[in-house]
Every structure is written in C-alpha cells, then in structure tokens.
C-alpha cells in the first residue's frame, strides 16, 4: 500500500513540476505532445494520473504528519484544474468554455468535501475560524478580507465593464451533408454510386482489397510498405496512379495541406480556419471517396449553407484540375495517410 502510494505521490510531484514549468515557460509546452485525434482521451488520462498522484501525495504527507487540511485540498485541486485547462490544453480554449469547466469542477469539489457531515465540518472549520477571529492571526485575516474582497470584486467588475475586443468564437460544421450528386466538367456524378476509377489492381480492375493492401503502414512515420514504392517505374495500376496523384498534390495542394498532409503547409499559417489535417482520424478517414471528390471539385464556394461561415479558401478545383486528376489526388491522399475510404455499405 505504502509503496503504491509513494509511486502515486511521485507521479503527483512530477506532474505538478511539469505543469509549473509550462506555466512559467521553463519547460516548453510541447514536452509532452498532444496527439491529434486522441487529445480528449489523452487529457482525461492525464487528469486521472494527477488525481492518483494527489491521492498518493496526500497519503504520504499524512503519514509524515504534514497533512493538508481538507479546506486547502479542495481549493488546491480546483486551482490546479483551472491552471491545467489554461496552460496545458493547446490550442487554447476560450475563457467562456474554461469558465464552464471551472464551474462544473467547483461543483464536483463541493460534492467531494461535503460527502459526509464530518468532512463538511472539517472543510468549513477554517472559514468559521476566520469569521470568529479568536486568534490574532485570524483577526488579521478577517480585516484583510474586509478590505481586499470589496477591492478585488470592484476591480473585477471594472475589468469586465471596460470595453474589450476579444476574438468572437466561431463554430462551423466541418462535414456538412453532401448533395446527392454533383456536376463536374459537364458530367453528373451520383455520390452514392460513383467509384474512383483509379482504385484498380495491376490488371486495371476496380479492386478495393488490392489497393487497401498497398497503402502506407499505420504507426509512426506512416511509411510505405517495403515493396510498394509508387516511384518504382515498373508499377502498373494503383501505385502508378498514386504517384501521379502525388505529383498533382505537390504542385497544388501541399501549400496549405502540408508536405505530410497534416494541414501545416507553407501558407497555412495565414488562414483561418486552418486547412484540413488528413492525418487526423476525423477527416478523410471518416468520409467516402465521393464526398472528398465533391469537396475538392467544388471547394469552399460549393459549401452548402450549414458550412458557414464561408471563410474557407479551398478553391473549386474543377477550375484547375481535370476529373481524372482529382480522382488521382484523392487516391494519393488515402495512400499517404494510410486510411481506407469509408464505403457506403
């Protein structure tokens, strides 16, 4: 038990040091990376670790005779959680959302400290002590509060009333519902029935199994399968078209969507919303190839009304690329990210 708790305490101290370092900019905030797509799970896991750590810490301190009063434990945990939200989570979440989380966690802390009558007494004892002011220290505190509280609250309300220019929060539907069909270069494509004409095996037959077997491997780096190099000149079918798609991608798309298809291209920093990250499991991995076809062909301008706020700079690629080129680029995007397109069945 003791060993387990010491381990917990160690985690707690290490975690606190890390967070402290990040707050004061000693430790770069990228030390432990937030992995795209797994961020919520990662954050929950981290907070879980902290809770275990704090339990351990509290146990150890108790055993050493330096127990922290329940009152400070409650406040401490709440402050920790606010700091965590503010400094750990990146990209930063707006204050209004943090305030919501903060309120919820405050309620949780109250539920914890008032779980039974004894705990609740312990929790409110320090407050009562200050109100009663029996000792010199408490008297001092009481006067300090008497002055500080009105000044602080007055200050906060002044701050809140001062006209400010914070960025308005913008919400948008990332994957708006696609139309039933789309007309590109004079031909109508029904999204439910269209197929990528280049998803073919070496004999030129549509073959999902074959093409899925030749995409890059999942895992760090997402490297190509050792004997499926699209740059091999003897290639026929799928891999040949992947290469052609890649050539188009690196002449047109990587400026925004990035060399690694992660939305961090050369010009990406200038745009808002930032370009789509295809390596994120929430983008092309969730979609059918024909959906991508529609989005690529029609661009930001082709978005339906729920795709507001219409700030997308994605061009209608039908102006620049032929239908064949669009299909090849899509083929390349799935190859390079190692995802299978979703199918309709």
Partner 1 sequence: MMDSITHKAGLLTAAAFGIVLGASFGSTVVSAQGMPEGFKKGDLAPPPSAEMIEAGKRVYFTKCVWCHGVDGAGDGPGADRLWPRPRNFNQGTFKIRHTASGELPLFDAKKPIAGQNDLFETVTHGLPGSAMPPWEGILTEEQRLQVLSFVTTELVKDRKFTDKESETQSILQLGELNPKQATEESIKRGAELVVEKKCVECHGMEGRGDGNAFNLKDDWGFSIQPADWHKCWNFRGSRQDPYSVRNIFRTFSTGVNGTPMPSFADNTTVDERWDIANFVNSLCERDPLGNPLPIDPLTDKPKINFVIPSDPVEGEIPTDIAAEAWAKAPKRYVAMGGQITHKPRNFVNRIDDIWVRSLYNDQHIVYLLEWDDRTKSVAEGKLPWAPTEVNIDVKEQDPKTGEEGSIAAHQNNYTVYNDAIAIQTAVKWKELPAPIKPRYLFGTNEQFPVDIVKWEADGSLRAFLGTGWDQDFQERDNYEESMKILMAEWKNGRWYVMIQRPVGNKKDQDYDEDTFFEVGQYIPTVFFAWDGHNGDAGRKMAVSAFYYTFMNPPVPQETYIYPVVIAVGVVLLEGWVLTRRANRKKGKTL
Which parts of 81-100 interact with partner 1 (CB under 8 A)?
90-91
Token pair, residue 25, equals 């900019």
Rounded CA separation 95/77 (Å): 19
User: Is the preceding peptide bond at 29 cis, omega within 30 degrees of 0?
Assistant: no
To partner 1, the closest distance from the beta carbon of 239 in angstroms equals 11
- Binding flag, residue 309, partner 1 (CB under 8 A): yes
CB-based contact 230:240 (threshold 8 Å): yes
Region of 109-117, 183-191, 241-249, 281-289 interacting with partner 1 (CB under 8 A): 241-249
Give the residue, chosen from 69, 99, 250, 304, that forms a contact with partner 1 under the rule CB under 8 A: 250
Q: Give 116's contacts (C-beta < 8 A, 6+ positions apart).
A: none
By beta-carbon proximity to partner 1, the closer residue of 43 and 68 is 43
Region of 61-69, 187-195, 199-207, 267-275 interacting with partner 1 (CB under 8 A): 267-275
CB-based contact 298:314 (threshold 8 Å): no
User: Is the preceding peptide bond at 92 cis, omega within 30 degrees of 0?
Assistant: no
- Binding flag, residue 146, partner 1 (CB under 8 A): yes
Region of 54-62, 63-71, 106-114, 296-304 interacting with partner 1 (CB under 8 A): 296-304
Q: Give 53's contacts (C-beta < 8 A, 6+ positions apart).
A: 8, 9, 10, 11, 12, 13, 14, 15, 16
Three-state DSSP state, 250: helix
Three-state DSSP state, 182: strand
- Binding flag, residue 53, partner 1 (CB under 8 A): no
- Binding flag, residue 252, partner 1 (CB under 8 A): yes
CB-based contact 289:280 (threshold 8 Å): no
CB-based contact 230:242 (threshold 8 Å): yes
Give the residue, chosen from 32, 100, 153, 177, that forms a contact with partner 1 under the rule CB under 8 A: 153
By beta-carbon proximity to partner 1, the closer residue of 116 and 227 is 227
Query: How many CB atoms are located within 10 Å of the residue 73 CB?
Result: 19
Region of 5-13, 37-45, 111-119, 144-152 interacting with partner 1 (CB under 8 A): 144-152
Token pair, residue 129, equals 């002590």
By beta-carbon proximity to partner 1, the closer residue of 199 and 254 is 254
By beta-carbon proximity to partner 1, the closer residue of 206 and 310 is 310
To partner 1, the closest distance from the beta carbon of 229 in angstroms equals 5
User: Is the preceding peptide bond at 337 cis, omega within 30 degrees of 0?
Assistant: no
Of 114, 271, 92, 297, nearest to 191 by C-alpha is: 297
- Binding flag, residue 241, partner 1 (CB under 8 A): no
Rounded CA separation 39/261 (Å): 19
- Binding flag, residue 220, partner 1 (CB under 8 A): yes
Helix axes 117-132, 136-161, angle to 10 degrees: 90
List binders of partner 1 among 171-190 (CB under 8 A).
Answer: 171-172
List binders of partner 1 among 23-42 (CB under 8 A).
Answer: 28-30, 33
Give the residue, chosen from 62, 272, 304, 306, that forms a contact with partner 1 under the rule CB under 8 A: 272
- Binding flag, residue 230, partner 1 (CB under 8 A): yes
- Binding flag, residue 266, partner 1 (CB under 8 A): yes
Give the residue, chosen from 1, 64, 269, 343, that forms a contact with partner 1 under the rule CB under 8 A: 269
Mask for 120-139, x = binds partner 1 (CB under 8 A): --------x--xx-------
User: Is the preceding peptide bond at 309 cis, omega within 30 degrees of 0?
Assistant: yes
To partner 1, the closest distance from the beta carbon of 270 in angstroms equals 3
- Binding flag, residue 300, partner 1 (CB under 8 A): yes
- Binding flag, residue 320, partner 1 (CB under 8 A): yes
């Amino acid at each position: 038990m003791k060993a387990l708790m010491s381990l917990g305490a160690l985690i707690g101290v290490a975690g606190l040091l890390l967070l402290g370092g990040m707050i004061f900019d000693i430790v770069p905030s990228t030390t432990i990376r937030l992995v795209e797509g797994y961020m919520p799970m990662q954050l929950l896991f981290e907070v879980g670790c902290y809770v275990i750590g704090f339990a351990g810490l509290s146990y150890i301190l108790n055993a050493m005779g330096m127990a922290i009063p329940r009152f400070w434990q409650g406040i401490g945990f709440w402050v920790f959680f606010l700091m965590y939200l503010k400094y750990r989570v990146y990209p930063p979440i707006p204050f209004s959302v943090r305030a919501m989380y903060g309120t919820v966690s405050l309620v949780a802390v109250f539920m914890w400290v008032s779980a039974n009558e004894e705990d609740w007494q312990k929790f409110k004892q320090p407050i009562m002590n200050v109100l009663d002011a029996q000792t010199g220290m408490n008297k001092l505190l009481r006067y300090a509060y008497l002055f500080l509280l009105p000044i602080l609250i007055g200050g906060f309300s002044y701050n809140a009333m001062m006209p400010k220019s914070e960025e308005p929060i913008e919400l948008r539907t990332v994957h708006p519902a696609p139309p039933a069909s789309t007309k590109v270069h004079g031909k109508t494509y029904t999204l439910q029935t269209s197929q990528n004409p280049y998803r073919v095996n070496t004999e030129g037959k549509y073959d999902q199994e074959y093409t899925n077997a030749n995409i890059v491997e999942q895992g760090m780096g997402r490297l190509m399968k050792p004997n499926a190099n699209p740059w091999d000149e003897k290639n026929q079918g799928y891999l040949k078209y992947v290469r052609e798609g890649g050539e188009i991608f690196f002449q047109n798309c990587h400026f925004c969507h990035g060399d690694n298809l992660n939305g961090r291209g050369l010009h990406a920093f200038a745009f808002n919303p930032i370009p789509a990250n295809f390596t994120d499991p929430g983008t092309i991995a969730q979609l059918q190839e024909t959906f991508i076809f529609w989005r690529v062909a029609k661009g930001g301008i082709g978005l339906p009304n729920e795709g507001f706020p219409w700030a997308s700079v994605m061009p209608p690629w039908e102006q620049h690329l032929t239908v064949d080129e669009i299909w090849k680029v899509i083929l390349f995007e799935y190859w390079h990210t190692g995802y299978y397109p979703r199918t309709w069945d």
